[in-house]
Amino acid sequence: MKLQRIRQAVVCVALVIVFLIGLSRFCSLSTNAQQPVVEPYAPGLRNSAVGHPLSVEEMLVVQTQLRQKTGFVQLHFDEAGFLKIENRSHIDGGSALARKLVLAAADSKKSINLQSHNRSLKVSFARLTRGINWANLRTGVQLDAEIIELDFDDFNHLHGDQKAVEAFDPGFALLHELGHAVLELRDSAPRAKTAGDCEAYINGIRRELGIPQRRHYTADLYRRARFQSGLTITVAELTFEETSTSAHTEKHGSSRRFYLRWDAQQVGGARTTLRSTDRKRKARAGLAGL
Ligand SMILES: [Zn+2]
């Protein structure tokens, strides 16, 4: 009799355990069913959902720089990584051209995805990869998707005048790529001595912000020997120009130039079109990407 009661108790405990396991699985399934489906691509500007997403710190850098350049006080990235501008009339400074570009990206029917590619030799500062046409087999929706690759580490290798460094930060790099992705603006030809349509737009933003403008799209390359090691490195150089608005200097056409330099081999992406090993002779070089 006692043995039978023990058996009954064991059976009861086993049934309770089975019930609890079943309940936990049901709860887990219910929770999963409530989670929204994360689509790999969706309209607007967002952190990548298809690999190489920006870290929290990198997203904060982008958010801070876009706020400064647009003046949108309520610009932020939501929990799903999408760029949101809650109140578009809440503006503090910034550039009207930057606002137009960033709004076009946020409202775009395209999917524009930000990826982090630090220390990549294929990316110098930033680049827009070739777009794809993506079809959602579940919903039947089709859209164009673009990926902007950012190499935040490259910006740590910049040297030169502080004003030139400020004119060439990750925020400007992103705006440049948005100029390609959203406004379909083009760069100048590799050896042309012009800024190109895309960089001309970004120069308009710099002008509105009181920042020197980039003179040419392509960087100059030249060789320089290191003093201590004697090794030769390839230096890339961009020139920025600030035209004074004072009456005197405007009359006499005065402007100031600021120089930005980096080790092309460390940053990568520079197509090696150096024509001479003579470090005093400069050659034109294309930048793959930005
Ligand atoms: Zn470009």
Distance of CA 73 to the CA centre of its chain: 20
The percentage of the chain sitting over the pLDDT mark of 70, rounded to a whole number, equals 77
Tell me the pLDDT band of 1, cut-offs 50, 70 and 90.
low
Tell me the pLDDT band of 196, cut-offs 50, 70 and 90.
very high
Q: Tell how far the Cα of 269 is from the centroid of ligand 1, in angstroms.
A: 13
User: What's the distance, Cα to Cα, between the start and end of the chain in Å?
Assistant: 85
Q: Tell how far the Cα of 191 is from the centroid of ligand 1, in angstroms.
A: 14
94: its two tokens: 């910034």
Q: Where are the alpha helices (DSSP H) in the chain?
A: 2-34, 56-70, 96-106, 162-166, 170-181, 196-209, 247-251, 264-267
What's the chain's length in residues? Answer: 290
Instruction: Identify the CA nearest to 178 among candidates 265, 275, 65, 29.
Output: 65
Q: Is 18 a residue whose pLDDT tops 80?
A: no
- How far apart are the C-alpha atoms of 60 and 77, rounded to whole Å? 9
Residue whose tokens read 């402007």: 255
Q: Tell how far the Cα of 141 is from the centroid of ligand 1, in angstroms.
A: 29
- How far apart are the C-alpha atoms of 21 and 199, rounded to whole Å? 61
Tell me the pLDDT band of 284, cut-offs 50, 70 and 90.
very low
Residue whose tokens read 């006692």: 2
Q: Tell how far the Cα of 171 is from the centroid of ligand 1, in angstroms.
A: 14
Q: Tell how far the Cα of 172 is from the centroid of ligand 1, in angstroms.
A: 11
Apex 240 CA angle, 237 and 241, nearest 5: 145
Q: Tell how far the Cα of 215 is from the centroid of ligand 1, in angstroms.
A: 14
The percentage of the chain sitting over the pLDDT mark of 90, rounded to a whole number, equals 62
Q: Is 28 a residue whose pLDDT tops 90?
A: no
Distance of CA 35 to the CA centre of its chain: 28
Q: Is 39 a residue whose pLDDT tops 90?
A: no
State the pLDDT at residue 229: 73
Q: Tell how far the Cα of 48 is from the centroid of ligand 1, in angstroms.
A: 20
Q: Tell how far the Cα of 225 is from the centroid of ligand 1, in angstroms.
A: 30
Q: Tell how far the Cα of 196 is from the centroid of ligand 1, in angstroms.
A: 9
Question: What long-range pairs does 60-64 form, CB within 8 A, spacing at least 24?
Answer: 61/152, 61/170, 62/114, 62/150, 62/170, 62/171, 62/174
Mean pLDDT of the chain: 84
Q: Tell how far the Cα of 104 is from the centroid of ligand 1, in angstroms.
A: 18
Q: Tell how far the Cα of 51 is from the centroid of ligand 1, in angstroms.
A: 23
State the pLDDT at residue 20: 52
Q: Tell how far the Cα of 179 is from the centroid of ligand 1, in angstroms.
A: 8
Q: Tell how far the Cα of 34 is from the centroid of ligand 1, in angstroms.
A: 42
Apex 49 CA angle, 43 and 54, nearest 5: 105
**Containing H/E element for 51?**
none
What mean pLDDT is predicted for residues 171-191? 94
Domain ranges of the chain: 44-285
Q: Tell how far the Cα of 181 is from the centroid of ligand 1, in angstroms.
A: 10
Q: Tell how far the Cα of 268 is from the centroid of ligand 1, in angstroms.
A: 16
Q: Which residues are within 5 Å of ligand 1 (an ion), measured at CB?
A: 187
Tell me the pLDDT band of 145, cut-offs 50, 70 and 90.
very high
Q: Tell how far the Cα of 30 is from the centroid of ligand 1, in angstroms.
A: 47
Q: Tell how far the Cα of 138 is from the centroid of ligand 1, in angstroms.
A: 35
Distances (CA, A) of 132 to 147, 176, 184, 254, 277: 9, 20, 15, 46, 40
Q: Exposed e or buried b for every residue in 62-94, given b needs 16+ CB within 10 A?
A: beebbbbbbbbbebbbeeebebebeeeeeeeeb
- CA atoms within a 13 Å half-sphere pointing along the CA-CB vector of 264: 25
